[in-house]
Amino acid sequence: MESKETESGVLTALARKMRLSATLAINELVHRRTAKGYKVVHLGFGEATFPIQRNVAAAHRNASDITSYLPVAGLPELQEAIAKFQSRRLKNNIQPDQVVVAPGSKPLLFALFDLLQGDVLLPRPSWVSYEPQIIHAGKQIFWVETDKDDRHTITEASLQSAFSSAVKEGGNPRIMLINSPSNPTGQAFNKRDVETISAFCRSHDITLISDEIYSDISFSEESSATPCSGSRFNIGHKILTGGLSKTYSAGGWRVGYAIFPANDFGARVQSAVLAYASECWSAASAPAQKAAAVAFDTSPEMDLYRSQVVSLHKRCTLALYQALRQCGLAVAEPKGAFYVYPSFHPFSKQLEARGIWSSQELSRWLIEECGVAALPGSAFGEDDAGPIGGRYRLRMATSYLYFHDQIERYEHGYHLLDLASDANNVLNLPLLDEAIQAIQNAVAKLRIEL
């Protein structure tokens, strides 16, 4: 009898479903183009690159001799700092033992999908990694359609429709994940939106995971609404995830966290996550946790740093948004994070004339013919053959538009953050100017009749 391996190769059925992440794939394409001497404006990768706040950097350096494994749930002083920071933000009394720290929020989301029962309701579009994580967990995804213009707004009707079709198709939707401010759209929910989503999840016995990795980078009070605020958090089935990567420009340090409600549901899920963590990643890096305890501090220095970070992302991201609008692209004003999510559908005729029928083809054309790297909407669950709202969408990240290299990052970065705090200061961002010029050239090229 043939062994299983000769029948199907060496990989499991699961491995055959996994693909290289679209983000990494585009990164490699950009590197190949630049290695050949082509200039490419990199709007494809969402990695915050501001200089690390000085006290946080010092804490990391000073902790480099701590080499022991830390507790699975995290360094107690970090759990405490996160609890205090989030208690202030959520207007709630979060206790340190409600917090679990991990090497990034990504593995925590992975664990949650593996451990919670049921299938998943996911807004379309959503961050690239949720879909493979959910597939890995053996669950089905049921997309919740969003507004055709901003690709973010969710209504009671869109929730109900996703839920009903899931049930009709034999699914068992018990989890919903939301992300606000959003990667890829840069849009954010307001208070009414989060109330609608919370009420829907409550009435359908759905666990709501709120990925708040960008929550500190909100451009206004209105866009910082979260379903986890207030004391109701502790009576519901909600889990908040967040981390160090975006606000503190420290993705590579790998620190993320989850907050569980102080109720029976929270305790049960939390202990399952801790068991999972103990067998999978053990604990996050010790120096990074020491540094994170300083980062999440509610001290005036850290509050100042956070406000400078928001101002700089806001100014650069809104400048790119305005330029895209002026070019004639369909784009909603971003409300947070560092993403803009334009659609090229106003140029459908010109795109079709060039044989470009999908966001994937558009993304490739922009890199190869115009030197602009941006991720296709299809990487975020958009249907390239679907309606106009989702087709020809690209996600553009502004996070690489500040510095050419590490030297510039540390020589000019702190000054740039200081300058950004005052709206009257002029910011000199040559990489942003180059990006805008490259996009204008691309649109001008499209306008030329073939």
Residues of this chain that bind ligand PLP (CB under 6 A): 46, 104-106, 127, 179, 183, 211, 213, 243, 245, 251, 256
Taking CA atoms, 78 is separated from 95, 175, 269, in Å, by 12, 28, 21
Question: Residue 315 carries which side chain, given as an amino acid letter?
Answer: R
CB of 105 to ligand PLP, least distance (A): 3
Minimum distance from CB of 327 to ligand PLP (Å)? Answer: 26
Q: How far is the CB of 208 from ligand PLP (least distance, A)?
A: 15
Alpha carbon distance 295, 56 (integer Å): 6
Comparison of 338 and 347: residue with beta carbon closer to ligand PLP: 338
How far apart are CB 425 and ligand PLP at their closest, in Å? 29
Min. distance of Cβ 183 from ligand PLP in angstroms? 4
Burial state string for 278-309 with b = 16 or more CB within 10 A and e = fewer than 16: eeebebbbbbbbbbbbbbbbeeeebeebbebb
Q: Output the residue with the shortest Cβ distance to ligand PLP.
A: 104
Nearer to ligand PLP, 247 or 358 (CB): 247
Residue number, 280 or 388, with CB nearest to ligand PLP: 280
Which residue, among 70, 73, 69, 71, has the nearest Cα to 267 in the 3D structure?
Answer: 73
Nearer to ligand PLP, 134 or 419 (CB): 134
Strand partners, 119: 173
Q: Which is nearer to ligand PLP, 223 or 234 (CB)?
A: 223
DSSP letter, residue 385: T
- Please give the Cα distance from 89 to 105 (Å, whole number): 19
Q: What are phi and psi of 120, to 5 degrees?
A: -120, 130
Supply the minimum distance, in Å, between the C-beta of residue 259 and ligand PLP: 14
d(CA 39, CA 30): 9
C-alpha angle 312/315/316, rounded to 5°?
Answer: 85
Question: Considering beta carbons, is residue 79 or 234 the nearer one to ligand PLP?
Answer: 79
